[in-house]
Structure 1
Amino acid sequence: MKPTTLLRSLIPLVTGLSAFSAWAGPQAHVVCAYDHTAGDDAIMMYGMPNHAMLHDFFGNTHIDAYTDYVRLRNQPETNCDNKADSSAWWAPTMRLPDGQIVKPAYQKTYYQSTNVDKYPLTPFPPGLELLAGDHHGTGPNRRITFLCGNGKGYTNTAGEVCGLRAKGDAVQFNIGLKFPNCWDGVNLKPVRGRMNATYTNDAGACPAEFPVKIPTVNMNVAWVLPQITSLDTAKIELSMDPVMDGETRIEKWGSIYTAHADFINGWPVQSAEFMTSKCMNNNMDCGVQIPFSYARASADTWVSSAEPATNFGDDATLQVQDDWRNGGRTANKEIMSLVKFPIPPLPEGYSEADAALFKYTIRIYGGRNADGADQVFFYPTDTRWDEHQVTWNNRPPCNYLSDGIMYTRTQRDYRYVDVDKAVRAARAAGKTEIAWYIGGDRKANNYTFNPAGTKEDLLLMVTAYKTTPEI
């Protein structure tokens, strides 16, 4: 391995537009289905079920008035597409101008940031709670935006009339909410009269009182409404705190400017760390490729039949080339890389259906050294080798029946290789580490990959993904 909402009493918000314009920076994302509606708020009314305004809940499927990080991780089932993200989100319930209470279809959250080279991110601390928006708001807020599915893009003012979206099947209306991205480094939970987070300045820097820069949670809630053909956004109402008569609720409603939302971080610690150090701080768009857990390669090197006594353990790259034509593999020069990983843990506490979605995947960075694209093979071997001693002459045995296939091309980028079957077999045999040869395309083309310890790193990850429909 080479070294190489805020509520008005918390945070008043500034007007102007910024939440969901086109994005060209580091990010990851999740799509989460709507789960349920309840009068709960585990941040501002913890332990007081049915006493908060009506909220629509997304993400973790066990959210209630008692939700906290421990409960999110002990009951991690989620309706998000990335099954590692057991976070909890909620937003006020919507009422249409005709009095109809409607449920959202889904929400899409982008974890984003800016200027990470100068102001890098710190991972979400376990259980961090954040609020966005102002449930007493009376006018535009630069961190809250509105979108008609057939409209002119995002705006922060009410009054646009939404027509049918392009499909012609429904009116779609979205609210975007940008959460604070500078944490005070001390308080996980905001309370009335004390904020625990605020926003970066336009340069992406945090103020001294809130010095810890975290990923920006940009939540986008979508309502898909086939029962109407137009919607005047100025006449939309959002739920407010009810008047309680004993245990009886008298619902109250406010304008669209009262939009707000709540977030409790439910990512595993390793996931949150990966999002910053392995993804966003490298200016990457990782999409849904944020793992539940991962392990860096503990050893990597390459061996060459053309230099059979040479060890390449200190080389800055991993090299691959072979040719199975014209006399076969043994008649030609063969260069293969060796990689070894500790086996990261599988998750616990998930339903059987969700647990079955988790797969072992290798993330590797590199590409072909000439124009074209082809496949590269991962052949199983044993783990009894030392990267600073192994040569072609004393190399471990190679089973040329591959455990995984990687499709690669000239462009150097990240590639993901499914090795789930092989790793699970190793676990079942009681092994705690696993190793492979990386062999070439069998056509004499050269490939170069980055080893562990480089910025791109070489990882064995546990990931789980299931499409959440965006209706």
Structure 2
Amino acid sequence: MKRTTLYTALASALLLPSLYAHAGPQAHVVCAYNHTLGDDAIMMSGKPNQAMWHDFFGNTRTDAYSTYPSLQKQSETTCDNKADSSAYWAPSLRLLDGTVVQPAYQKTYYQASNVDQHPLSPFPAGLALLAGDHHGTQPNSRITFLCANGKGYSNKVGEVCGLRKAKDAVQFNIGIQFPNCWDGIHLQPMHGMANATYDVKGQCPSGFPVKIPTVNMNVAYVLKGITSLDTAKAQLSLDPTMNGDAREEHWGSLYTAHADFLNGWTEQGARFMTDMCMNEGTDCGSNIPYGYSTAQANVWVSSETPTTTVPQAQMLLIQDNWKNGGRTRNAETMSLVKFKIPALPTGQDPSLFKYKVRIYGGKVEANGADQIFFYPASNSWNPATVTWKKRPSCSYNSDAVLYLNNKREYRMVDVDKAVRKALAAGKTEISWYIGGDRQGNHYQFNPASSKESLLLMLTGFKKTPEI
């Protein structure tokens, strides 16, 4: 087999969303190409080099033996989000002259629709999904093709791709939409038995009742050294004929396009994507955490009601004034929060990870933006009994600053340095007072019990290769 790399790189500017109209919440991840094998861990598990040539993205150790435990144990990934050690693979692409080209990368959009009526469930550990038809001979509504210089995505082959806008390469994308309704029983499909199907207007059919995020995988080929690509003449790999250990290769048209997905998201990352994000109608973007913890205690205390307990606060309140006599002379209200610290993953570069607090709310007054502060506090307090008079000590040397206006929205607060210091001291919990506006303004935030929640998140990101 002639295998020559024309060009393999991550195109920094152009990977367009697929044909499928989408108006609901979504997340996304970009994964560089990693390796090519004649393996398929789903339909030909345990049979190395007996499947068609597949190009693999994401988990760098994917092979014919891969499972969810192996993906988690050997979790190094080419994806930009370290929470995603999933395995993604698709058949190899061959040009008219017989040159087999490596893809540059794939970008997957995790999407949802009608979550108000039909909410999502997280991907279960070990879920495997298939999409497309390697026996296909005609357009498939779930498979799309794109010439980056052309007219957008289409289900039909035959367009001739020219140079993309930068005139540096031909870029061709294949979009594959996976089923989003799982049967709730079988983690993997088998020959003659599907474990998942597609929803109908956001609702799953009765035999596949568990709605999961829609995996829309977009594979990008960035080809230098050519000026055009006739999509009617490009081919994709098919299963070989095996003569002992020798392979006789077969190739089919682009209508045989398909792909495989083996879930390797951390369990907390998969749960966040659905429960803390998409089901709340929020676009997650790339901000899916490796792990997180919901505030295990949150309450406000005020010098104006020094003996009052507020263990079931409906809103976290902040008010402060360091003018006209200072904070010891004026009313002061601060919110006290406590989190269990999500553990850093073992065997991975800790510098790629960062701790952040996600908090929802804003300033009450519409007089511009101001700062509030996250002051370190001891963990020796109970929300049922803490009052202003019986509050833990507060250091007014802040761990973090949040600059915000009166818009009520999610805010991300970098607390990485403080959390790592707590971990180094052997602590498993961390507490803060939120306060210190110093201008006499008021702030309101939703508590952990609200649908917006209050989280300490551990995120992990790395740069994927760029041109």
Q: TM over 0.5, yes or no?
A: yes
1:104 partnered with 2:100: no
Of the three residues 358, 366, 370, the one matched with 1:363 is 358
Match of 2:228?
230
Report if aligned partners of 1:19, 1:142 keep a CA contact under 8 Å in 2.
no
The alpha-carbon deviation at position 22 of structure 1 amounts to: 4.7
Report if aligned partners of 2:320, 2:439 keep a CA contact under 8 Å in 1.
yes
The alpha-carbon deviation at position 160 of structure 1 amounts to: 1.4
Of the three residues 243, 252, 269, the one matched with 1:254 is 252
How far apart are the structure 1 equivalents of 2:164 and 2:337?
50
Match of 2:39?
40
The alpha-carbon deviation at position 19 of structure 1 amounts to: 5.3
C-alpha distance after superposition, 1:88-116 (max 9, x if no partner): 00000111223221111110111111101
How far apart are the structure 2 equivalents of 1:321 and 1:174?
53
SS at match of 1:272: helix
Of the three residues 320, 337, 340, the one matched with 2:338 is 340
The alpha-carbon deviation at position 87 of structure 1 amounts to: 0.4
Match of 1:271?
269
Of the three residues 381, 395, 399, the one matched with 2:377 is 381
Paired letter, 1:422 = A
Report if aligned partners of 2:93, 2:101 keep a CA contact under 8 Å in 1.
yes
Q: Which 5+ residue runs of structure 1 have no aligned equivalent?
A: 1-17
The alpha-carbon deviation at position 314 of structure 1 amounts to: 2.6
Report the CA distance shift for 1:251/1:407 in structure 2 as closer, same or farther (over 3 A): farther
- After the TM superposition, which residues 125-274 of structure 1 pair with which residues of structure 2 at under 5 Å, given as runs? 125-201=124-200, 203-274=201-272
Report if aligned partners of 1:106, 1:470 keep a CA contact under 8 Å in 2.
no
Match of 1:466?
462
The alpha-carbon deviation at position 57 of structure 1 amounts to: 0.3
Match of 2:285?
287
How far apart are the structure 2 equivalents of 1:23 and 1:180?
15
Paired letter, 1:254 = G
Cα RMSD of the aligned pairs, angstroms, is: 1.6
SS at match of 2:184: coil
Report if aligned partners of 2:149, 2:163 keep a CA contact under 8 Å in 1.
yes
Match of 2:298?
300
How far apart are the structure 2 equivalents of 1:45 and 1:460?
41
The alpha-carbon deviation at position 436 of structure 1 amounts to: 0.1
Q: Which 5+ residue runs of structure 2 have no aligned equivalent?
A: 1-16
Paired letter, 1:249 = R
Q: TM-score, normalised by structure 2?
A: 0.93
1:441 partnered with 2:441: no
Match of 1:421?
417
1:405 partnered with 2:398: no
How far apart are the structure 1 equivalents of 2:328 and 2:62?
60
SS at match of 1:72: helix
The alpha-carbon deviation at position 123 of structure 1 amounts to: 1.0
- After the TM superposition, which residues 310-325 of structure 1 pair with which residues of structure 2 at under 5 Å, given as runs? 310-325=308-323
Paired letter, 1:443 = Q
Report if aligned partners of 1:105, 1:470 keep a CA contact under 8 Å in 2.
no
Report if aligned partners of 1:19, 1:143 keep a CA contact under 8 Å in 2.
no
How far apart are the structure 1 equivalents of 2:461 and 2:406?
28
Match of 1:4?
none
The alpha-carbon deviation at position 121 of structure 1 amounts to: 0.9
Paired letter, 1:195 = A
C-alpha distance after superposition, 1:10-56 (max 9, x if no partner): xxxxxxxx953353211111110100111111111111111111110
C-alpha distance after superposition, 1:368-425 (max 9, x if no partner): 1133223321110001112232222222111111112223222211111121222222
Paired letter, 1:161 = V
Q: How many residues align?
A: 450
SS at match of 1:446: strand
How far apart are the structure 2 equivalents of 1:104 and 1:331?
66
Match of 1:89?
88
The alpha-carbon deviation at position 470 of structure 1 amounts to: 5.9
Report if aligned partners of 2:298, 2:336 keep a CA contact under 8 Å in 1.
yes
